[in-house]
């Protein structure tokens, strides 16, 4: 490792952001925080600035900036405050920065994540929605700039660890038969389908194995998370959707597997704690302590596997269809899902209506080629519009 690495954490106040700062704080000789961003939990952002002394903090509005500046001054902190998407892009691409943790949730993270990619940074990608929306453009930008893209999603980080160092020649060329993407099945894996209409946001957010932000928790409950991850894996590993199989594995101990033509199947195992993939990506290709307890196989005792149930989880089927369709389809899927999840969390729709809303949008909006970022955001806007129209007719 060469010297101290300066890190920007986009989405520092979230679940991934806080886990990242936990790992960083264990290695002050390796990492220094350059910038932190927050969106709604601004008193928590203040506390993080006092603790990690970043050069910059980024907040969404001028009012929030004014408040944070006053609070930082009172706390004797020298952190400078920047505002909005321009501020996020600035701290993602700043010449002083070595690595960027992209941990904003949803489409809001696309431009800042791309700014880090275009500046050729080491990009730790948690914000799967950014890649799902803009896959081809995103990967072109990675190749053009020479950015090092490291997956944080536990499954993709596992696959990355199970692939040979250089898989850029293509999966068949390095002997990969298929990728096995594991899924916990979420909190409703065994809930009778007839009861899904009555489940609450609280039940959806109570994941059996992982503690995460609310949006990804609902995505896990609907298995849209696995659908987004299928698309994410296609882009990260240059795979076709048919080369990726979803395997339900309720214990979340195996984080994914790679099946080779000689019959070898490589897996990465670990306790379900995001600090493992975060530490892996931060230190790659070295290894550092993440604070995660060693895996106790005797306590786990058994590992189970099942095929996914696409009847119960139509979001998985819709994602596969969007992956096959390509073009703007994944951006439409993602945007419709973001509106649907927010509506479910606000109790405006029932849980099964998340899939109905997405299917409505995908049925109405034609899929087009997306050659520019403008085209991606046009698809995103159009899907949100159709989803809102559906909501005004069917929502509460």
Stretch 6-35: interaction string toward ligand NAD, x if CB under 6 A: -----xxxxxxx------------------
Which C-beta is closer to ligand NAD: that of 218 or that of 360?
A: 218
Residues 214-253, interacting with ligand NAD (CB under 6 A): 215-216
Binding residue per annotation — 134?
Answer: no
| CB of 276 vs Mg ion, minimal distance in Å | 12
Binding residue per annotation — 227?
Answer: no
Task: Estimate to the nearest angstrom the gap between the alpha carbon of 53 and the chain centroid.
Answer: 26
| CB of 291 vs Mg ion, minimal distance in Å | 19
β-strand partners of 248: 183, 306
Stretch that binds ligand NAD, among 196-204, 212-220, 261-269, 339-347 (CB under 6 A): 212-220
Binding residues with ligand NAD: total (CB under 6 A):
25
Q: Cα(181)–Cα(247) distance, rounded to whole angstroms?
A: 6
Residues 102-121, interacting with ligand NAD (CB under 6 A): 103-105, 108
| CB of 156 vs Mg ion, minimal distance in Å | 7
Which C-beta is closer to Mg ion: that of 90 or that of 256?
A: 256
What is the DSSP secondary-structure string of 286-308?
Answer: S----SPPPP-HHHH-----B--
Q: What does the CA dihedral 281, 282, 288, 290 come to, rounded to 10 degrees? A: -80
Q: Quote the strand ranges of 142-220, DSSP E.
A: 148-151, 176-183
Instruction: Pick one of 31, 71, 87, 153: the residue that binds ligand NAD (CB under 6 A).
Output: 153
Q: Which residue has the tokens 């073009």?
A: 327
Nearest Cα neighbor of 318 from 390, 250, 225 is: 225
Please give the C-alpha separations between residue 86 and each of 113, 175, 252, 288, 340, in angstroms, as whole numbers: 12, 43, 38, 33, 28
Contacted by 38, from Mg ion, ligand NAD, none: CB < 5 to 8 Å by type: ligand NAD
What is the DSSP secondary-structure string of 47-58?
Answer: HHHHHH--SEEE
Residues 129-158, interacting with Mg ion (CB under 5 A): 153-155
Residue 252 has what DSSP assignment?
-
Q: Cα(314)–Cα(223) distance, rounded to whole angstroms?
A: 8
Instruction: Decide if residue 210 touches ligand NAD (CB under 6 A).
Output: yes
| CB of 238 vs Mg ion, minimal distance in Å | 19
* Site of interaction with Mg ion (CB under 5 A): 153-155
**Which residues contribute to the annotated binding site for 1-deoxy-D-xylulose 5-phosphate?**
128, 154-155, 184, 207, 220, 225-226, 229
């Amino acid at each position: 490792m060469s010297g101290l690495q300066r890190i920007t954490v986009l989405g520092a106040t979230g679940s991934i952001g806080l886990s990242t700062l936990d790992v960083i704080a264990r290695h002050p000789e390796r990492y220094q925080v350059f910038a932190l961003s927050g969106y709604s939990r601004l008193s928590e952002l203040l506390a993080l600035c006092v603790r990690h002394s970043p050069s910059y903090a980024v907040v969404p509005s001028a009012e929030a900036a004014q408040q944070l500046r006053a609070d930082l001054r009172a706390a004797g902190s020298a952190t400078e405050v920047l505002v909005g998407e321009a501020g996020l892009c600035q701290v993602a691409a700043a010449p002083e920065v070595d690595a960027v943790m992209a941990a904003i949730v949803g489409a809001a993270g696309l431009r800042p994540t791309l700014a880090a990619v275009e500046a050729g940074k080491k990009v730790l990608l948690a914000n799967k929605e950014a890649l799902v929306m803009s896959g081809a453009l995103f990967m072109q930008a990675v190749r053009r700039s020479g950015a090092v893209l490291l997956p944080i999603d536990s499954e993709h980080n596992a696959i990355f660890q199970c692939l040979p160092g250089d898989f850029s020649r293509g999966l068949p060329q390095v002997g990969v038969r298929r990728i096995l993407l594991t899924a916990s099945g979420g909190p409703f894996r065994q809930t009778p389908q007839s009861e899904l209409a009555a489940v609450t946001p609280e039940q959806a957010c109570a994941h059996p194995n992982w503690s995460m932000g609310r949006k990804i928790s609902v995505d896990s409950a609907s298995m849209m998370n696995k659908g987004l991850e299928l698309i994410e894996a296609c882009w990260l590993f240059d795979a076709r959707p048919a080369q990726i199989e979803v395997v339900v594995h309720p214990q979340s101990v195996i984080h994914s597997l790679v099946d080779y033509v000689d019959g070898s199947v490589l897996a990465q195992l670990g306790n379900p704690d995001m600090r493992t993939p975060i530490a892996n990506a931060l230190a790659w290709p070295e290894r550092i302590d993440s604070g995660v307890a060693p895996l106790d196989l005797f306590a786990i005792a058994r590992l189970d596997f099942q095929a996914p149930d696409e009847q119960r989880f139509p979001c998985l089927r819709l994602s596969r269809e969007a992956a096959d369709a390509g073009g703007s389809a994944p951006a439409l899927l993602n945007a419709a899902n973001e509106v649907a999840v927010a509506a479910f969390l606000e109790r405006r729709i029932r849980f099964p209506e998340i899939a109905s809303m997405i299917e409505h949008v995908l049925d109405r909006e034609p899929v087009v080629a997306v050659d520019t970022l403008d085209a991606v955001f046009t698809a995103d806007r159009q899907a949100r519009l159709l989803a809102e129209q559906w909501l005004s007719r069917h929502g509460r």
